[in-house]
Chains A and B, each alone.
Chain A
Amino acid sequence: MKGRFIIYKFDPRKDVKPLPVEYTLTIDPKETVLMALIQIRETLDPDLAFRYACGARKCGECGMLINKKAVLACDEQVRPDQTVKPLPFFPVIKDLVVDTESFIKKTFRTIFDETLELKTTDGIVPIDLNILKTYLEPTRCMGCLLCQATCPLLRKAETGFVGPYPLLALSQIALDPRWEGAFEPLIKRMDIRACTECGMCAKICPQGIDLPAFFRLLDKRRDT
């Protein structure tokens, strides 16, 4: 198959804005966009920067915007015409590489700025199997931040909504009763009720996590 890729390149040291560059290559139609990018770097443009690690949709490192949709490049099949941009809302380091690490660090630091303490034990903590899913499901998150890049509320700057990822991060801790501390002010501050439950984040999540379901549980906790 002939694949035409328009990739937005940007070097923050010298460019004013991202510039589209077109590449054409012959590629197996079953191949992933990640493989196309590797092929471009190896044969057409050694200067193209993008990030990946596991190549098997486990690590969440290769998130990007392909044809306007936030996806993992290792999980997206090539098509004849694709436009590739970095994930929006994060500072670009170079080309398709964005700084997600600072955002994740800031998210958890905000949470841990409250006095929170994990009860430690010397044995197995009993957990009711009926609510086990509440603990397991949010921690299936790989931190790819596709949800954050997709949330339509975040495009409206005036809402002040923190976005789906910080809320999921909070639910990983706040829904686990082994953690003690003042969650309620945190939950209030993060303004869960601003979420319209449009479900875009759940739809885009490579892990299929139903994020709004956990926001609702957090909201319940706010009132208790």
Chain B
Amino acid sequence: MARTIVNVPATARRGDIVTIKALVGHVMETGFRHGETGALIPRDIIRSFVCSYNGEEVFRAEFHPAVAANPLIEFSTIATQSGKLEFRWSGDNGFSAEASAAIAVE
């Protein structure tokens, strides 16, 4: 399992816009580089990132080889109710990583 770091405020007021940061450890090999022998290094990237808030998808991203290694993405959502934010990354070679964070909404 790849290392993930997510940053979500622990508490928020109802209706507040909260900023979320999500990072995952991954080489994001572009598939355009050549190794020492001149052979092409096969592509190995994360294709998609999904953030769900209490089971409902609120943000989704599609990555291409132009996304730098260890993809970091920062976005926002409205704090609607207390619950759980779930993050899921998936990509080439069956790559999959998950993270979650709790948020308390007053």
A and B from one complex: no
Which chain A residues have a beta carbon within 8 Å of chain B's beta carbons?
A: none
